[in-house]
Amino acid sequence: MLRTHTCGELNLSHLHQKVTLSGWVQRSRDLGGMTFLDLRDRYGITQLAFNEETNADICNQARKLGREWVIQVQGTVTERFSKNKNIATGDIEIIVDIINVLNQAKLPPFTIEDITDGGEEIRMKYRYLDLRRNPVKNNIIFRHKLSIEVRNYMNEAGFLEIETPFLIKSTPEGARDFIVPSRMNPGQFYALPQSPQTFKQLLMVSGFDRYFQIVRCFRDEDLRADRQPEFTQIDCEMAFVEQEDILNTFEGLTKHLFKKVKNIEFDSIPRMTYADAMRLYGNDKPDIRFEMTFVDITSIVKGKEFKIFDDAEAILGINANGCANYTRKQIDDLTDFVKRPQVGASGMVYIRFNEDGSLKSSVDKFYSEDDLRIITEKMNAKAGDLLLLLSGKTEKTQKALSELRLEIGSRLKLRDSSKFAPLWVIDFPMLEWDEETARFYAKHHPFTSPKPEDIYLMDTNPGLVRANAYDLVINGVEIGGGSIRIFEKELQRKIFNLLGFTPEDAQEQFGFLMNAFEFGAPPHGGIAFGFDRLCSVMSGVDSIRDFIAFPKNNNGRDVMIDAPAGVSQQQLNELFIELGKIPE
């Protein structure tokens, strides 16, 4: 037997037992007459003790063991002289009789410890070693627990987990597809699914009225800390439901997961319309852990010869409570922040409401004290506050001020990663106008149903039509989104027409779905949660990479296995693929 116990379970109740343990050498401490060695496995660390006086031979063997060697030991569980309260097995140690080296190990390129000396890059290259470290290992275990609890809840709620194919058909809408050549069908390609969207709708037609799947999805777009080319969704669909049923069901899932995995309980999750989210936070995924909502002061600041405001479509401000003591340097810092091209503001105006009640602004030249008072009143400012104003085109200004708000929130430590503020954002617009191609695109996807009371706008002002679409946002991160789908053929035809599909295009790309809908499609809708993001947000971490066992880097590369890579000419020949000129 290679082991009788793991390295995490022995305690005083096992005293004097003969045990066999196997694991990796974490580190050894050679004190001369004694050597201590930490043996590690997935479950923890157990201290092995060697005494030169009582057993010189085994003590010498122990001195020769290197870091990360895989060993098996036999010995006796003994109470320690000096205990270690920091680890579960800290009351005991093993007096070892026999060491068996199962495998030697090269010296690892970075230290396998909770706080490692290794940087991101080298740890990714040796990811299998990084996964030995507690912080990374615990993330993977956390993910496992979360997936089990998802399945528990969904199963209890009557959902069936059904797998859908990975080799499907490419559609031009939405994200870029990963494509896979078909050897048996030369010149033709599969696409990997961006989501099982159409399949889950077909399952509704089939009568599986509650479906879910924890499923890999693929999108060939540029990456971010919270975006990977392959990622995992909790994908769900329900038939014979309205929006309210879906929100309630998945509010229940969210509460269940937080309760079971984090032992955190929520009241009901608040709801906010898309329009309010944009008006108050300039963002369709607001972080509502803190207030600092936008105030529109456009109507009260114009006409004072301040050209920048006079020319602006919108002048919006936030109140940075208690920041009147910001130094000139700190304010310049914020100005630089909003002027970064990623944020895109051309400047920032501040009004400082000093503790003594006086006002100081960067636009004193244009605004009298009385003018400024009107602004401070409108913005609900009191002594000690700092008002920050941005102006310009409405959308750009909203975006920039939203960034600024989050930045101030971070600086004021209002974005506590141990606090969780979930939010439903509802009533998304159905369509989005794209300037470049001068046409409407579906904001969610082309099967999203419009709100019945807005259908009359479809012919006259389609941009105003709201959809039965909703997002779940936690701490400013979009965790999930979904909609009530269109299930009537006539309405679907109309939407495709609005999106610029000819009937032939629509038939070509989505014919299988539209045809299915002619055979008795029930009313249905669904939602999909980004599972990796849920893991990271619940853990208060920004990067989803930490929760994926083998993630890809910024350029979509797996630096461990060095993929993607070229393939042999023979493989290309079989697929009838000829490579064009590859840009330098």
Partner RNA sequence: GGUUCGGUAGUUCAGUUUGGUUAGAAUACGUGCCUGUCACGCACGGGGUCGCGGGUUCGAGUCCCGUCCGGACCGCCA
Q: Which one, 364 or 395, has the nearer CB to RNA?
A: 395
Query: Nearest CA to 238 among 205, 202, 209, 207?
Result: 209
Type of residue at 368: S
Query: Nearest CA to 196 among 161, 227, 221, 220?
Result: 161
If one asks whether residue 173 binds RNA (CB under 7 A), the answer comes out as yes
Min dist CB 122 to RNA, Å, is: 5
How many of the other CB atoms lie within 10 Å of CB of 203? 22
Using the rule CB under 7 A, which residue among 71, 192, 390, 442 binds RNA? 442
Q: Which one, 162 or 264, has the nearer CB to RNA?
A: 162
Write the binding mask 378 to 407 for RNA: x where contact by CB under 7 A, - elsewhere: ---------------------x--------
If one asks whether residue 90 binds RNA (CB under 7 A), the answer comes out as yes
If one asks whether residue 4 binds RNA (CB under 7 A), the answer comes out as no
If one asks whether residue 60 binds RNA (CB under 7 A), the answer comes out as no
How many of the other CB atoms lie within 10 Å of CB of 85? 6
If you count them, how many residues does the chain have?
584
Using the rule CB under 7 A, which residue among 221, 242, 313, 332 binds RNA? 221
Using the rule CB under 7 A, which residue among 132, 445, 485, 533 binds RNA? 445
Give the CA radius of gyration of the chain. 30
If one asks whether residue 175 binds RNA (CB under 7 A), the answer comes out as yes
- Sequence-distant (6+) residues with CB within 8 A of 6 are 21, 41, 42, 43, 44
If one asks whether residue 471 binds RNA (CB under 7 A), the answer comes out as no
Positions 482 through 501 that interact with RNA (CB under 7 A): none
If one asks whether residue 287 binds RNA (CB under 7 A), the answer comes out as no
Using the rule CB under 7 A, which residue among 9, 52, 251, 276 binds RNA? 52
Q: Which one, 231 or 326, has the nearer CB to RNA?
A: 231
If one asks whether residue 36 binds RNA (CB under 7 A), the answer comes out as yes
244: part of which helix (H) or strand (E)?
helix 243-257
352: part of which helix (H) or strand (E)?
strand 349-353
Q: Which one, 11 or 155, has the nearer CB to RNA?
A: 11
- Beta-strand pair 359-361/349-353: antiparallel
If one asks whether residue 543 binds RNA (CB under 7 A), the answer comes out as yes
Using the rule CB under 7 A, which residue among 2, 107, 565, 579 binds RNA? 107
For RNA, how many residues bind (rule: CB under 7 A)?
A: 71
If one asks whether residue 29 binds RNA (CB under 7 A), the answer comes out as yes
Using the rule CB under 7 A, which residue among 210, 444, 524, 533 binds RNA? 444
DSSP state of 13: G
Question: Which residues in 328-358 are b (16+ Cβ under 10 Å) and which e?
Answer: eeebeebbebbeeeebbbeebbbbbbeeeee
Structure tokens at 448: 């999203």
Name the residue with tokens 């093993």. 94
| Span from 50-58, 133-141, 372-380, 413-421 in contact with RNA (CB under 7 A) | 50-58
If one asks whether residue 236 binds RNA (CB under 7 A), the answer comes out as no
Min dist CB 557 to RNA, Å, is: 5
- Sequence-distant (6+) residues with CB within 8 A of 525 are 237, 238, 241, 242, 243, 246, 449, 468, 482, 483, 484, 485
Phi-psi region of 265 (alpha: psi -120 to 50; beta: other; left: phi over 0): beta
- Residues 358 and 369: their CA atoms lie apart, in Å, by 9
Q: Which one, 98 or 175, has the nearer CB to RNA?
A: 175
Min dist CB 481 to RNA, Å, is: 8
If one asks whether residue 80 binds RNA (CB under 7 A), the answer comes out as yes
Min dist CB 433 to RNA, Å, is: 11
Q: Which one, 353 or 428, has the nearer CB to RNA?
A: 428
Beta partners for residue 187, in sequence order: none
Using the rule CB under 7 A, which residue among 19, 49, 62, 406 binds RNA? 49
Q: Which one, 130 or 385, has the nearer CB to RNA?
A: 130
Question: What sign has the CA pseudo-torsion 286, 287, 291, 293?
Answer: negative
Name the residue with tokens 């066999």. 20
Name the residue with tokens 């990067």. 543
Min dist CB 344 to RNA, Å, is: 7
Write the binding mask 416 to 435 for RNA: x where contact by CB under 7 A, - elsewhere: ----------------x---
Positions 108 through 137 that interact with RNA (CB under 7 A): 109-111, 117-122, 124
Using the rule CB under 7 A, which residue among 151, 169, 494, 557 binds RNA? 557
Q: Which one, 356 or 436, has the nearer CB to RNA?
A: 436
If one asks whether residue 562 binds RNA (CB under 7 A), the answer comes out as no
If one asks whether residue 66 binds RNA (CB under 7 A), the answer comes out as yes
If one asks whether residue 83 binds RNA (CB under 7 A), the answer comes out as yes
Min dist CB 554 to RNA, Å, is: 3
If one asks whether residue 443 binds RNA (CB under 7 A), the answer comes out as yes
| Residue 490 contacts residue 482 (beta carbons within 8 Å) | no
Using the rule CB under 7 A, which residue among 17, 84, 147, 507 binds RNA? 84
Positions 327 through 346 that interact with RNA (CB under 7 A): 340-342, 344
Using the rule CB under 7 A, which residue among 169, 227, 271, 411 binds RNA? 227
Using the rule CB under 7 A, which residue among 14, 38, 205, 309 binds RNA? 38
| Residue 316 contacts residue 397 (beta carbons within 8 Å) | yes
103: part of which helix (H) or strand (E)?
strand 92-103
Min dist CB 118 to RNA, Å, is: 4
- Residues 6 and 248: their CA atoms lie apart, in Å, by 43
| Span from 140-148, 178-186, 242-250, 552-560 in contact with RNA (CB under 7 A) | 552-560
Query: Nearest CA to 114 among 26, 48, 49, 47?
Result: 26
Name the H helices within 286-422: 298-301, 307-310, 328-339, 369-378, 394-411
